[in-house]
């Protein structure tokens, strides 16, 4: 398997899982810095490699009235300050061609949103500029379809590829996570991340916003780690009930240490077997 060198740690192979976590969207710099600092300290305590994630623009919100974020210019500046002040890698999703170049200058990992994962020209442009590219597997794709996306990325010479599973659309505001997808995609030779919080999202389930089943995250995360996944992706917030995006499927910060401790125990058993 390809191992992705992040400088201070490596993603993939027999390495323990990496944690990608942060709020769904940048609400303001103070709250983002607070979450990033909390997560950095917790990850260091548990000896888990950590990457901060947050969107600067959620271009695919359910309603025209939904909060999208501060936008590319302000959002990337916030992410740059978090990266420099805390010394953590940063990840965000890119939705528009004109954002790719400035995002590539700051982001350690550039993420292609699930709804754009088959947009060939967009993927090629990002792959040509990103140091590491993370593809969110579309809710409309079978795991085997990912090989075609990998081939697109490799065609421009980029081998630093991550694939993220976030569930498959079952219709009627529901997603389903099939754990079989993780080994299928890992067998393609690149690290696979499991998005445990988006997998319990209920897209559009709240009418003008998405709902979620936060209480189910722990079960899906355990299953993913038991399947040998290379990373866990979590949306977290000080107070999810007041989050401006995806609060229903975001986790409380004070619930994370217990969950991550359990995942570490499972991961050790699985990785020691390989």
pLDDT above 70 covers what percent of the chain? 97
Lowest mean pLDDT among 46-50, 85-89, 206-210, 253-257: 206-210
Is 91 within 8 Å of 109 (Cβ atoms)?
Answer: yes
Question: Each residue of 101-146: pLDDT tens digit?
Answer: 999 999 999 999 999 999 999 999 999 999 999 999 999 999 999 9
pLDDT value of position 33: 98
Confidence grade of residue 246 (pLDDT, cut at 50, 70, 90): confident
Question: Each residue of 176-205: pLDDT tens digit?
Answer: 999 999 999 999 999 999 999 999 988 776
CATH superfamily of 4-255: Aldolase class I (3.20.20.70)
Burial of 234: CB neighbours in 10 Å, binned 0-12, 13-18, 19+: buried
- pTM for this one? 0.95
Q: Which of 145, 142, 133, 186 is nearest to 2 (CA)?
A: 186
pLDDT value of position 272: 85
């Amino acid at each position: 398997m390809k191992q992705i060198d992040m400088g201070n740690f490596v993603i993939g192979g027999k390495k323990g899982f990496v944690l990608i976590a942060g709020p769904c969207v940048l609400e303001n710099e103070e709250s983002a810095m607070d979450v990033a600092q909390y997560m950095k300290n917790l990850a260091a305590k548990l000896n888990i490699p950590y990457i901060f994630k947050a969107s600067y623009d959620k271009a695919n919100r359910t309603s025209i009235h939904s909060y999208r974020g501060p936008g590319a210019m302000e959002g990337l500046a916030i992410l740059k300050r978090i990266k420099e002040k805390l010394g953590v890698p940063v990840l965000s999703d890119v939705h528009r061609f004109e954002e790719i170049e400035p995002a590539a200058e700051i982001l350690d990992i550039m993420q292609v949103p699930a709804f754009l994962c088959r947009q060939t020209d967009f993927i090629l442009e990002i792959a040509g500029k990103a140091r590491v590219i993370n593809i969110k597997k579309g809710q409309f794709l079978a795991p085997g379809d990912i090989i075609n996306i990998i081939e697109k990325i490799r065609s421009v010479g980029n081998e630093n590829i991550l694939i993220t599973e976030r569930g498959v659309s079952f219709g009627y505001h529901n997603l389903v996570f099939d754990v079989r997808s993780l080994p299928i995609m890992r067998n393609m030779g690149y690290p696979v991340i499991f998005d445990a919080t988006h997998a319990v999202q209920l897209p559009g389930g709240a009418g003008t916003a998405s709902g979620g089943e936060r209480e189910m995250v722990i079960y899906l995360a355990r299953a993913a780690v038991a399947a040998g996944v290379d990373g866990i992706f979590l949306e977290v917030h000080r107070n999810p009930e007041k989050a401006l995006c995806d609060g229903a499927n975001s986790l409380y910060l004070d619930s994370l240490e217990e969950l991550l401790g359990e995942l570490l125990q499972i991961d050790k058993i699985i990785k020691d077997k390989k």
